[in-house]
Amino acid sequence: MELWPVANGVLLWLLGRLSLKLSAHLENVITGRVCPMPLNAAASPFILLVHHVHSFAPWDPIRWFQRQFILPEGFPSHPHRGFVTLTFILDGGFVHRDSLGQKQVYGSKQTHHSQWLYTGAGVLHEEMFLHDESWWSPTRQELFQLWINCPRAKKYNAPFSILLGGDTNDNDANADARHTPTVTNDKSKTLVLAGCYQGACSGAPLDSNLLVLHVKMEPHATWECSANLETAMLYMRLGSVKCGQDKIETQYLTQFDGRRQASVVLQTGDEAADFLFLAGDPLMEPVAQQGSFVLNNDNEVNQAYADYQAGYFGRPWDHSLTDDEWQKHVEQYPCVYKPK
């Protein structure tokens, strides 16, 4: 999807008709694309992976027109129910506000780099891009958002969100929950966003057995994961790796076979690699997804829409509201599922 900036996105689309490899490599330089990747049933507990690569230049006339008349720079208030979103910022940042009355700021230059949002019984939230721009230098924004399904028994608990990463050596009660350790081996670094890798565990509160890793490998390196999980896949952000005789190129999403993965071994050649690795055990429950709801059957989805229309999630607000105006709005139209 060509977006932010549109002109660059269209150029990438045209180049992709000629050479996917050229388009993939150029995207990291000029930006302008969002790539949503819906995942099939064999990818349980994962539902959706989205890769955003954007930039915002103050001198871009198309940006001004788009922001004023077509699409704001981010994602105004919208509802969710029944799953977790993990948003991992590589460049730039987000300003989050929700119908629980909570505001969070996170990103590559902030204290925390990620957000774990458990949508539970239902919540409204907005995510607007955090800009740090000068008149000559565009703001670069790059992030992953991953949708993770919740077991049926956990879908209607009270919603909450925590920020991940940052200094855990403080007196904050949520310090342990923020912890995202980095495992450094010979020629590789692995950031543990969720789950455990080589004895290092993230503080993300899991409802099922899963693993989310951001891995960087130098040239001529070997990386191994012995998670022993049935679902295993990776998205190659930059570079390439070989898994046995198979080569995984930039912007390819690769799902390993459906047998329990005792070990995944990857090797780089002459170029470095940067990828997101996902693994987990399937929930073995029916999935009904529509729009921004992930539940177990169509009746539950229909009920989610009815509850949203009835205002149980809170009422949507305009993204241009000041923080004081937004706080007054969520106090007037509260989310009924807010933790007591």
Chain segment 39-59, per-residue pLDDT in tens = 999 899 999 999 999 988 887
* C-alpha span between 49 and 233 (Å, rounded): 11
What is the pLDDT averaged over residues 63-67?
Answer: 78
Position 116 scores a pLDDT of 97
Q: Looking at residue 168, what is its pLDDT? A: 52
Task: Indicate whether 147 pLDDT > 90.
Answer: yes
Length of the chain counted residue by residue: 340
Locate 274 and state its tokens.
């940067």
DSSP 111: S
CA distance 215 to 306: 41
CA distance 262 to 279: 11
Question: Which phi-psi region, left, alpha or beta, contains residue 170 (left: φ > 0; alpha: ψ -120 to 50)?
Answer: beta
Rounded to the nearest integer, the mean pLDDT of the chain is: 91
Residue-level pLDDT at 260: 61
Percent pLDDT > 90 in the chain is: 70
Convert the pLDDT of each residue in 253-306 to its tens digit.
Answer: 999 875 666 689 999 999 999 999 999 999 999 999 999 999 999 999 999 999
pLDDT above 60: residue 77: yes
Tens digit of each residue's pLDDT (9 = 90 or more) over 296-321 = 999 999 999 999 999 999 999 999 99
- Give the three-state DSSP class for 305: helix
pLDDT score of 166 = 77
pLDDT of residue 75: 95
Q: What is the per-residue pLDDT across 168-204, written as a single tens digit (0 to 9) for each? A: 555 555 556 689 999 999 899 999 999 999 999 999 9
Beta pairing partners, 246: 243
Rounded to two decimals, the pTM is: 0.93
Strands 273-280 and 231-239: antiparallel
